[in-house]
Amino acid sequence: MKHIPSIQERSSQPLKLAALRQAHQDWNTTSDVLTRLTRRLATTLSLEEQLAILAEELNEIVPFGTMNYRHRIGYQDFVYATGMGGPHRCEYRLALEGVSYGTLVLQRRHRFTEQELEGIEILLGAAICPIRNACKYAAIEQASLTDSLTGVPNKRALDDALRQAGQLSERHGQPYSLILCDLDHFKSVNDTHGHVVGDHLLQVAATELERSVRTSDSVYRFGGEEFAILLPHTDDLAAREVAERIREAIATIRVDTGEKELQVTTSCGVATCLSGESTQAWVARADAALYQAKRHGRNCTRLFASIS
């Protein structure tokens, strides 16, 4: 049954609205640190930006030398650090409803007093809910950029990385190279042994690829049985050496199918970003080099520049 406001309720509405406007004004203009902190944290879902805000507000109340924060989000470690350290430290494990949202450490040259530690805990209590929301948002964002089967970044993440690499290469004149590698005769693996074996092979291949490159290099699942490796500060000849190392590593893979041991090889195409080149053109050149490797018998590497 629909509720019809009484005369008394209708007459009180202007007062309630006026109180709401006053509360909103107070919220936006109050200078106390807790309100200011929560108001500022509510403006962003970026964990890095939230930690920068927290560091600034904390330092106003309890001066410190260094603030370090570390948390495992999905497949990656998130680390934030600011300032210069000292021998004295206090450490807090941030948790809410039994779930961990990282570890925060403050350091400075002299000891923290009990009153200062209490102040830090009050501010962290006000910050934990926004930090939780930012961690969850980061996890969702990471999942959207991660291949669910292999755990490596997906094509969407590659597209973003290629755009950034092209800009950095243009700005600083540093070479960036791209390797596309395709597992040879992969369709026959699925046809003969089934998709469970095929999926396992892709997972093993992704692991082997990550072991074969530097920590500064990035491995992506480009699609199907094709992977991409982005190599910063690497020219075409050095990239070819990496591709050969990858090819040799993939050739060592052995998968027990129950009937016989399964082996696999890979073909690689290499292209180095050119000045003023679009990411689409860069990928197309690496793909053309990969096609040439396939045409020349597979289990080999081709540079785009070597295509006649």
The tokens for 303 are: 């540079």
Cβ count near 9 (within 10 Å): 11
Asked if 102 contacts 71 with a C-beta cutoff of 8 angstroms, the reply is yes
- Sheet of 76-83, strands arranged across: 76-83, 66-73, 99-108, 88-96
Q: Show the CA angle centred on residue 20, arms to residues 17 and 22, nearest 5°.
A: 110
Task: Find the catalytic residue in 57, 208, 225, 226.
Answer: 225
**Active-site residue, 225 included:** yes
Asked if 294 contacts 237 with a C-beta cutoff of 8 angstroms, the reply is no
* Residue in 274, 278, 35 with CA at minimum distance from that of residue 173: 274
β partners of residue 303: 270
Q: Show the CA angle centred on residue 81, arms to residues 77 and 85, nearest 5°.
A: 130
Asked if 196 contacts 262 with a C-beta cutoff of 8 angstroms, the reply is no
Own/partner contacts of 77-84, CB < 8 Å, gap of 24 or more, are: 78/47, 78/102, 78/138, 80/47, 80/48, 80/51, 80/52, 82/52, 82/55, 83/55
CA–CA separation, 18 and 15 (whole Å): 5
Cβ count near 21 (within 10 Å): 10
Integer-rounded Cα Rg, in Å, for the chain is 27
| Catalytic positions | 225
